[in-house]
Amino acid sequence: MVLLPPTPAEIVALIIAIVTSHTFVTIVFFPGFIHLALIVIILTWYERKLLARIQLRIGPLYAGGPGGILQPMADGVKLIFKEVMIPYKANKPLFLGVPLMLVFLAALPFAVIPFGQNWVIANLDVGLIFVFAMTSLFPSMILLFAWASNSKYPFLGGLRSLFQQVAYEIPMWISALSVVMLAGSLNLMDIVYAQSKMWFIIPALLSFIVFFIAILAELERLPFDLPEAEPELVAGWFTESSGAIFMVIFMALYMKLYLMASLVTTLFLGGWWGPGPLPQPVWFIIKTLIVATFIIIPRGVYPRLRVDLLIKLGWTRLLIIAIANVFLTILLINSGILSSWGLP
Amino acid sequence: MVAVTSYIIVSAALLGIGIYGLTVKKNAIRILFAIEIIVNAANLNFAAFTRYMNPPQVSGQVIVFYSIAAAAMEAAVGLALILVAFRINSTIDVRKLSKLKG
Amino acid sequence: MALISIPPDITFIVLAVVTIIGSIIALQAKELIYGAVALAVSFIGIAGFFVFLDAPYLAMLQIAIYVGAIVVLILFTIMLVRREVMDELTDTPEHGEGTAGLWLAGLLAVAIAGVAALAGPDLPTQPKPADLRVSDLGPVLAIQYPIPLIILALLMSAALLGALVLAKLER
């Protein structure tokens, strides 16, 4: 078969068809790159303002606009122009490559999270396990970056961070297991559809509590802040990063925050269901920002947990509560209480 | 699509690479790499055959599931053994460790 | 996207190249950490094969367990073994064992591949269209083959206890 080269008119038609196709719009615009970048920037400003108000300060005020709304832009410009210092005998390929992988890994699970009935990039049948697999890759990246920094404090911080994140992954996913049992599917779209009558936070309240605590530990937020604590380890595993590398890691951390908050919304708070005339993605973003607020607030309120108590909490207390919760959910489903509430 | 012989060829190549690493390398951790590569080759083979059966079955995927879990456990215990051996002998060279001296 | 489709042969070849080159680098790299990263890439290649073979659940499990747990353990062990010990342990084969290993592995691989190629016409070339769903795995695991599941759970507890005992040894 002879393939003739396509005429310019056909190329233009192909490009227009690709750009207006649903897949392209979802990947680039709405639950894709541009929306993620915007939300991450807004989240950094939001966190600083919120923490400032809790601590009776004002926060960013002068950087353009009312209330310092352009502060993240100023931060970004400053970080780009700073010098990237690579420590003596540090492992350059890992030091420069791992932050990019981190951002990639933090952004990838957004492909399966449904922002609305038509606003999901890839409706995988194994969506929840996909998110699980991607978040389980974070500790290895952190360990590689900490080792590549060739310096004592980042390495110790990286080890502590690794232990903490690995310890709290298991209660997180066992408590998500009870949501999967209630919904009957691993597909995130099906989980949201199953919450059309009642949000899963009501029958699975204990799983919500366990999941939320495990998320605080996964994101290294207070009260599980020891790897990053300033009086302890300077800045933990990303001590040696400066300039553009720090900006990339910072963005990866906030993307992870947004990812975990959207996961809580999808699994427990009914995803995009909402009364009234607002479009579904707006409900999703509102709920996610409320969850993000509750993730940010403990940073200004609680003291820090010591590292061995922290790890003990993850492996013993939280794991036992999560497993007991699974049995409780099985009991609830089998005894028919939940089907009388309208859940499958 | 692809014939099943291509999967067998890839699986055999991985097996060969794993056996080369297992027999030639002296570093205990590299031998562990080789073991994991061999187990992965076997998993790939199982998954390919269970798909190309007539009719395709899900039970082959269950075998791979068990294999992944068993390989995880074996890697954990193997690495613990390497750490203990290092602590006692201060070396992870399997030539010296296999002499069982000291 | 339905507008641009990649023929399945190219996907297979790319995945095969990534997996095999990853495993070769894992064994040959001078720095063990680079070897561990190459091993992780090889595991992700195998996970790609699982997706290609209509087993997405297995692919995600492969990534979560192999790359997410085993590679972390390997990295952690490499970092705990002191660097001087690593550097003086050159893994380059000497006394002709490299050639012996290559012949052994090569002959074995060629033998298996040769059997497969010779039996080629008898083996299926096209996979039958299948509707393998993730929800089919549950009944097979729990109802059809429950005993391996229970044995695996006991084995896992034994491995956990064994690893803990080994860690406490020599204290």
C89 SS3 class: coil
> C110 CB contacts (<8 Å, ≥6 apart)?
B12, B16
pLDDT bucket at C21, cuts 50 / 70 / 90:
very high
Is residue A78 one of the residues assigned to a domain? no
What's the token pair of residue A96?
């420069």
Here the tokens at position A45 are 């400003």
Q: What is the pLDDT of residues A40-95, one digit of tens each?
A: 888 988 888 888 888 888 878 777 777 777 888 888 888 888 888 888 888 888 88
| Residue among A257, A241, A258, A220 nearest A97 (CA) | A241
Identify which of C27, C55, C66 has the shortest CB distance to residue B25.
C27
Do the chains contact at C134 and A166, CB–CB below 8 Å? no
Q: Which residues share a beta bridge with B93? A: B27
Kindly report the backbone phi and psi dihedral angles of residue A70, in degrees, each rounded to the nearest multiple of 5, phi listed first. Answer: -95, 10
Instruction: Give the pLDDT score at C84.
Output: 60
Nearest 5°: the CA angle A21, A26, A30 is: 130
Contact partners of B by the rule of 3+ C-beta pairs under 8 A? Answer: C
CB atoms within 10 A of CB A56: 7
What was the ipTM of the complex prediction? 0.91
Residue A174 structure tokens: 């066992």
Instruction: Give chain A's domain count.
Output: 1
**A267 and A176 in contact (C-beta within 8 Å)?**
yes
CA angle B83-C44-C73, nearest 5°? 15
**Cβ neighbours of C145 in B, within 8 Å:** 59, 62
Interface test with B, best of C13, C33, C43, C77 (most B CBs within 10 A): C77
pLDDT of residue B101: 67
Residue in chain C nearest A158 by alpha carbon: C76
User: Higher-confidence residue: A165 or A32?
Assistant: A165
CA A123, distance to chain mean position in Å, is: 19
Does A51 reside within a domain? no
| pTM of the predicted protein model | 0.90
Among B29, B44, B72, beta carbon nearest to C77: B29
**How many beta-carbon contacts under 8 Å exist across B and C?**
240
For residue C13, pLDDT beyond 60: yes
| Residue of chain B whose Cα is closest to the Cα of C135 | B58
pLDDT of C1 higher than 50 = no
8 Å CB contact between C22 and B31: no
CA distance A232 to A224: 13
pLDDT recorded at residue C171: 55
**C5-21 as b/e, with b when 16 or more CB fall inside 10 Å?**
eeeeeebbeebbebbbe
Residue A242 region by backbone torsions, left for phi larger than 0, else alpha for psi between -120 and 50, else beta: beta
Please, are residues B16 and C109 in contact by the beta-carbon 8 Å criterion? yes
Integer CA distances (angstroms), A16 to A20, A121, B53, in order: 6, 19, 42
Q: How far does chain A reach from its first CA to its final CA, in angstroms? A: 54
Span C55-102, pLDDT tens digits: 899 999 999 999 999 999 999 888 888 666 666 566 666 777 788 888
CATH number of B4-97: 1.10.287.3510
Report yes or no on A42 lying in a domain: no
For chain B, list residues with pLDDT below 70.
Answer: 1, 101-102
Q: For position A260, what pLDDT does the model report?
A: 93
**Distance (Å, rounded) from C-alpha A207 to C-alpha A200?**
10
CATH code of the domain made up of C1-88: 1.20.120.1200
Which of A165, A132, A162 has its CA nearest to residue A145?
A162
C130-143 pLDDT tens trace: 677 777 788 888 88
> Is A86 within a domain?
no
Pair A114, A123: CB distance under 8 Å: yes
Could you state, in order of their start, the residue ranges of all structural domains in chain C?
1-88
Which residue range(s) make up the domain with A302?
91-340
Cα A150 from Cα A143, distance rounded (Å): 12
For residue A185, pLDDT over 90 is answered with no
Contacts of C2 (CB under 8 A, 6+ apart): none
Instruction: Determine the residue among B58, B79, B97 to mutate to test chain C binding: the one whose Cβ has the most chain C Cβ atoms within 10 Å.
Output: B58
Distance from the Cα of B98 to chain C's closest Cα (Å) equals 15
Top-confidence residue, A223 or A257 = A257
Do residue A129 and residue C76 have CB atoms under 8 angstroms apart? no
Average pLDDT of the residues in A152-173: 86
The domain limits of chain B are 4-97
